[in-house]
Amino acid sequence: MKLLHVSDVHLEDGFAGVPRRLFANKRFAGYLNLRLKRRRHFADAAAKIPLLAELARDEGVDAVLCSGDYTALGTPREIAFARAAMEPLVAASPAFSTVPGNHDVYLPDALGVFEREFGTLMASDLPEHAVDGPYPHVRLLGDHVAVVGVNSARPNPPITRSSGRIPDVQLDALRRVLADARVSERFVFVMTHYAPRLWSGEPDSRSHGLDNADAFLAACAGLGRGAVIHGHVHRCYTVRVPECPVPLFSAGSSTQAHGEGLWLYEVGPDAASARRGRFEGGRYVLEDAALAL
């Protein structure tokens, strides 16, 4: 099976018509940062989604996995716009699975909006394991692949904080999912938004990283064959750390100008590999070298 992993597309179409009261908080500082710096890096983000879809079709992928951050400031209008803009990529493969990023639940007023717009893309084949809304959700793909999504994103009202945390109840459920015979015999992708480790193998900062990264990696200790996949850090990389039996893969941002990243995973009954992707010459291309998983 082929699975395309993208992340942090950060789509927005302006904020005309958005009530001003939604900016009387941290979102105002985020908007200033967006206007002065961030927006230019994602000016072509929406135009790149059909190009990602083209790659998915050309490669014949069986599933697309997106590890969150569809928006800039998590307003209801942005989230609805992002869902519509993602449709070419959603339609480009038989399956699509996702989790939210911190920008999708930017503030408490965004809670529930992401699930409303993206809920059909978080369907679970094993709903009995869900303990916290739809999480963890499980997709069983073909005969030998499973994707497990856990939510590490949360609202962060303080201006200086953008950290995440996977609720303990989800970690307990994750352990049960990985022990479930319907999952444990498969190659398992555990997907979340926040990076449990940086490219150096070190934890991210307290203000930007995953608060309970060690506990998350410990919950993944039951993985036999698989990978932990995420976004949040806008750098495409893979790293192995002693705390986890499988490699970690960051897709970085798939649409950030001059830094686009993604991964294409190929999984067979007895072997698996990963190829890194980049944006070049107006299209997404894959590197020739494949990493054995």
Cβ neighbour number for residue 119 with a 10 Å cutoff = 13
Helix/strand/coil for 63: strand
> How many Å separate Cα 78 from the centre of its chain?
17
Closest CA to 228 of 145, 238, 68, 2: 238
Tokens of 291: 């990493």
> How many Å separate Cα 51 from the centre of its chain?
18
| Amino acid identity for residue 219 in this structure | A
- The structural domains of the chain, with segments of one domain joined by +, span 2-292
Residues 6+ apart with CB under 8 A from 237: 199, 249, 250, 252
Global confidence as pTM: 0.97
- 258 backbone φψ class: left, alpha, beta (φ>0; ψ -120 to 50): left
Per-residue confidence (pLDDT) for residue 186, from 0 to 100 = 97
Cα–Cα distances in angstroms (integers) from residue 260 to residues 42, 51, 197, 231, 264, in the given order: 10, 12, 20, 12, 14
Tokens of 221: 């200790």
Per-residue confidence (pLDDT) for residue 16, from 0 to 100 = 83
DSSP string, 6-32: E---------TT--GGGGSSHHHHHHH
How open is the CA angle 6-203-184, to the nearest 5 degrees? 60
Peptide bond into 127 cis (omega under 30): no
What are 85-131's pLDDT values in tens digits? 999 999 999 999 999 999 999 999 998 999 999 999 999 999 999 99
Starting at the edge strand that comes first in sequence, how are the strands of the sheet with 248-251 ordered? 137-141, 145-149, 187-191, 225-230, 248-251, 236-239
Alpha carbons 291 and 293: distance in angstroms, whole number: 6
Closest CA to 23 of 36, 32, 10, 35: 32
Please report the beta strands in 88-233, taking only residues with DSSP state E, as ranges in sequence order: 95-98, 137-141, 145-149, 187-191, 225-230
Alpha carbons 253 and 261: distance in angstroms, whole number: 6
Per-residue confidence (pLDDT) for residue 276, from 0 to 100 = 98
Domain covering 2-292 in this structure, CATH number = 3.60.21.10
Tokens of 253: 């941002």
Cβ neighbour number for residue 207 with a 10 Å cutoff = 11
Please report the beta strands in 59-121, taking only residues with DSSP state E, as ranges in sequence order: 63-66, 95-98
Query: Is-contact 226 181, C-beta < 8 A?
Result: no
One digit per residue, the tens of pLDDT, for the chain of length 293 reads: 999 999 999 999 888 888 888 998 999 999 899 989 899 999 999 999 999 999 999 999 999 999 999 999 999 999 999 999 999 999 999 999 999 999 999 999 998 999 999 999 999 999 999 999 999 999 999 999 999 999 999 999 988 899 999 999 999 999 999 999 999 999 999 999 999 999 999 999 999 999 999 999 999 998 999 999 999 999 999 999 999 999 999 999 999 999 999 999 999 999 999 999 999 999 999 999 999 99
